[in-house]
């Protein structure tokens, strides 16, 4: 869709590949359908961005990414191939989302956090409950936290700043800042400052 269409504002120096759909109109009512997409965006084939979302500069998407309506996305965000961002999500500056991640409604990804491939956040404590839509609560991933591949995070959980969640974990409780958790259910196994590099490339990975 051309960047000059009504209700679609795209900054300069954009690169939008064929088969992208920029400005898909959602079925659900949205107060403001304006789509704002900042400068220097790079959208790969199959990306779909709904109307009613605001995105900062330097967005990069992999192939077949879906970004729904009523989201607020900051600058320098990267969203990998096949990932889905549902509506009412906040993604702050410098967030990296790898391939096949699922970010449901009311999630918050704080500045500089990192989600590995196949990470799934959830927001429904009791799916199919008659009141489920009235109590959806997404997870919050703190600043610079890192979530390993194939991790699942339960609704309304908070992963603290600089925390590290090991691959394949299931996070059922809040994760304190600067801790390392792993397992199903995820448990604290050490502190960030205790990590070392097995290849002797650096003294500490996350000083």
Active-site residue set: 126
The CA-atom distances, in angstroms, between 139 and each of 10, 95, 155, 203 are: 30, 15, 5, 32
Q: Contact at 8 Å (CB) between 82 and 65? A: yes
Strand positions, DSSP E, 86-207: 90-91, 96-97, 102-103, 108-109, 114-115, 120-121, 140-141, 146-147, 152-153, 158-159, 164-165, 170-171, 179-182, 187-191
Task: Name the pairing type of β-strands 90-91 and 72-73.
Answer: parallel
């Amino acid at each position: 869709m051309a960047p000059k269409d009504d209700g679609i504002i795209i900054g300069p120096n954009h690169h939008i590949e064929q088969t992208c759909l920029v400005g898909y109109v959602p079925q659900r009512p949205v107060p403001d359908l304006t789509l704002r997409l900042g400068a220097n965006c790079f959208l790969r084939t199959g990306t779909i961005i709904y109307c009613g979302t605001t995105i900062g500069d330097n967005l990069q998407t992999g192939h077949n990414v879906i970004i729904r309506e009523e989201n607020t996305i900051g600058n320098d965000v990267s969203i990998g191939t096949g990932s889905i961002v549902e509506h009412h999500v906040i993604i702050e500056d410098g967030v990296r989302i790898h391939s096949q991640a699922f970010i449901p409604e009311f999630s918050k990804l704080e500045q500089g956090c990192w989600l590995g491939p196949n990470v799934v956040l959830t927001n429904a404590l009791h799916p199919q409950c008659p009141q489920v839509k009235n109590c959806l609560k997404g997870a919050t991933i703190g600043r610079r936290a890192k979530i390993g591949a194939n991790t699942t995070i339960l609704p309304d959980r908070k992963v603290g700043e600089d925390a590290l969640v090991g691959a394949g974990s299931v996070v059922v409780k809040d994760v304190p800042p600067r801790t390392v958790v792993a397992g199903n259910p995820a448990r604290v196994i050490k502190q960030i400052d205790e990590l070392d590099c097995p290849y002797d490339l650096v003294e500490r990975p996350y000083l």
